[in-house]
Amino acid sequence: MADNTFMLEVVTPENILLKEEIQFLVVPGAEGELGILKNHAPIVASLKIGVLKYKMLDETIQKIAISGGFMEVVDNIVRVLAETAEHGANVDVLRAKEARERAERRLAQRSEDINIDRARLALQRAIARIKAAG
Amino acid sequence: MAGAGVREFKRRIRSVANTQQITKAMKMVAAARLRRAQEKAEASRPYNETLQGTVARLSAVALDVKHPLLEKRDEIKKIGYIVVTADRGLCGAYNTNIIKMANQSMENIDNNVEKTVIAVGRKASDFYKKRGLIAVDFVNLGDNISYLDARAVAQYVIEAYEKKELDEVFLVYSKFINVLRQVPTLTKVFPLEPPEEKEGLASHLIDYIYEPSAEAILVSLLPRYVGSLIYNSMLEGKAGEFGARMTAMGNATENAGELIGSLTLAMNKARQAAITDEILDIVGGAEALQK
């Protein structure tokens, strides 16, 4: 069973968040989720804000919230680059929920002086973090 | 009186010794922070290198990508300078060198072209505020630079360039060579020139699938690439600042030591002269009594 594993690295500007042997990975691709297994063909894919799910060697599923980025697969090494990434277990759900409400309020008001795109991204990030925690 | 001279020397020696103690402490603090700044720069390397490699590879594959950040403007009306300095002084010529480099570049550009400064760090902000060149400043970021700080700067220049408020953007910062050497460096940010792919890399031979497409990925990565450029310059700048401060404070400590040495010598001379004077007085007085 150990022969179906491959390496997953999650890299952010500030650190290498994760470097581990895993069995299966699902990433939020720009045009839908992508599943990765061992011996995947070389691919570069852009990722949107969302949740990255992976199955560890002990069969447990872990989640990481990422704020978009890209993934590169070569020779059974999967490297995910994201500006920010956070383990689901470390997410401060209360803060994420507050952020979601704040972004929703901003979008609902639609006033001139706010940046709609930025509020929308903030909302997506907050939702991704809440999902990763759950 | 000679005795008063000795007291004056003592006072000055004590004062220099106090200063020396402070510079010594500052040197040690700078050394500790330098190590942390270097670790941080080290930690950002995997991200930067992978991102750079991928952007280089993508721009080799994706021909004729149109993106506002890559677009060269025919007419240049306003140039932005991102000047990355420290928040504080007492680090030798570190800040001056960076500002000098930015000024030199500005002087070489036609007077009709407007120049504006995006200041990162209090020293650059203060300098250019006096000259009315500041567009925006990012100050008091502390010793612990986070990626979000860099992204705020990146976001500002990306928006300004896309809105055509700026037609060219340069980044001026101090490149960290080693603890003793920091070189002020000027690089062009916009129009963005993607890095060249390193020759002879194995990645040439790999036939990647691009999802959704090389062009789309490249476009989504360009703003991140700008972020990583600026983050990197801020981290190198921080390391350089501490390196420069360490050197400056080391020199100051040494100079204080020398000053204490020469003051001590002068004090001893003054004391001896005073004693000699007194003996001469006594001998002279005794001889006068014998006559």
- Domain with residue B175: its CATH number is 3.40.1380.10
Residue B118 lies in a domain: yes
Q: Are residues A43 and A73 in the same domain?
A: yes
**Percent of chain B residues past pLDDT 70, beyond the cut:** 96
Marked catalytic residue, from B58, B82, B83, B91: B91
What's the pLDDT tens digit per position in B260-288?
999 999 999 999 999 999 999 999 999 99
Q: Are residues A66 and A99 in the same domain?
A: no
For residue B1, the model assigns a pLDDT of 46
This prediction has a pTM of 0.87
Q: Are residues A37 and A73 in the same domain?
A: yes
For residue B205, the model assigns a pLDDT of 65
Kindly state the tokens that stand for B134: 């500041």
Do B157 and B222 touch, CB atoms closer than 8 A?
no
> Does residue B191 have a cis peptide bond before it, meaning omega lies within 30 degrees of 0?
yes
Q: Are residues A60 and A10 in the same domain?
A: yes
* A contacts of B228 (beta carbons < 8 Å): 13
Task: Tell me: ipTM over 0.90.
Answer: no
* B contacts of A69 (beta carbons < 8 Å): 224
Q: Are residues A96 and A82 in the same domain?
A: no
pLDDT confidence of B198, banded at 50, 70, 90?
low
Predicted confidence (pLDDT) at residue B62 exceeds the cutoff of 80? no
Q: What is the pLDDT averaged over residues B116-144?
A: 93
Question: Residue B216's closest chain A neighbor by CA?
Answer: A46
Predicted confidence (pLDDT) at residue B222 exceeds the cutoff of 70? yes
For residue B179, the model assigns a pLDDT of 87
Average pLDDT, chain B: 90
Q: Are residues A26 and A73 in the same domain?
A: yes
Predicted confidence (pLDDT) at residue B4 exceeds the cutoff of 90? no
State CA B98 to chain mean position distance. 7
Predicted confidence (pLDDT) at residue B200 exceeds the cutoff of 60? no
Among B47, B150, B231, whose Cβ lies nearest the Cβ of A11? Answer: B47
Kindly state the tokens that stand for A66: 């990422």
Q: Are residues A81 and A109 in the same domain?
A: no
What's the pLDDT tens digit per position in B9-25?
999 999 999 999 999 99
Q: Are residues A28 and A73 in the same domain?
A: yes
Q: What is the pLDDT averaged over residues B104-110?
A: 92
> What CATH number should be reported for the domain holding residue A117?
1.20.5.440
For residue B199, the model assigns a pLDDT of 60
CA distances from B1 to B4, B9, B266, B273 (A): 6, 13, 15, 11
Q: Are residues A70 and A115 in the same domain?
A: no
Query: CB B43 to CB A45 under 8 A?
Result: no
Q: How many domains does chain B have?
A: 1
Q: How many domains does chain A have?
A: 2
Asked if the C-beta of A40 comes within 8 angstroms of chain B's C-beta atoms, the answer is no
For residue B79, the model assigns a pLDDT of 95
Q: List the one residue out of B132, B121, B126 whose CA is nearest residue B83.
A: B121
Q: What is the pLDDT averaged over residues B207-231?
A: 90
What's the pLDDT tens digit per position in A67-126?
989 999 999 999 999 999 999 999 989 999 999 999 888 888 876 666 777 888 888 999
Residue B11 lies in a domain: no
Q: Are residues A112 and A75 in the same domain?
A: no
Containing structural domain, residue A98: 92-133
Residue B21 lies in a domain: no
> What CATH number should be reported for the domain holding residue A49?
2.60.15.10
Residue B257 lies in a domain: no
Nearest C-alpha of chain B: how many angstroms from A2?
26
Containing structural domain, residue B90: 29-247
Predicted confidence (pLDDT) at residue B214 exceeds the cutoff of 90? no
CA distances from B172 to A81, A108, B184 (A): 27, 41, 7
Q: Are residues A71 and A121 in the same domain?
A: no
For residue A48, the model assigns a pLDDT of 93
Residue B9 lies in a domain: no
Q: What is the pLDDT averaged over residues B156-167?
A: 93
Nearest C-alpha of chain B: how many angstroms from A56?
23
Q: DSSP code of A42?
A: P
Nearest C-alpha of chain A: how many angstroms from B240?
19
For residue A133, the model assigns a pLDDT of 87
pLDDT confidence of B60, banded at 50, 70, 90?
confident
Q: What is the pLDDT averaged over residues B176-192?
A: 91
Verify whether residue B3 is a known catalytic residue. Answer: no
Do B158 and B138 touch, CB atoms closer than 8 A?
no
Q: Are residues A47 and A19 in the same domain?
A: yes
What's the pLDDT tens digit per position in A44-80?
999 999 999 999 999 999 999 999 899 999 999 999 9
Q: Which range among B35-39, B46-50, B72-76, B105-109 shows the weakest confidence by mean pLDDT?
A: B72-76
Residue B278 lies in a domain: no
For residue B180, the model assigns a pLDDT of 87
For residue A14, the model assigns a pLDDT of 92
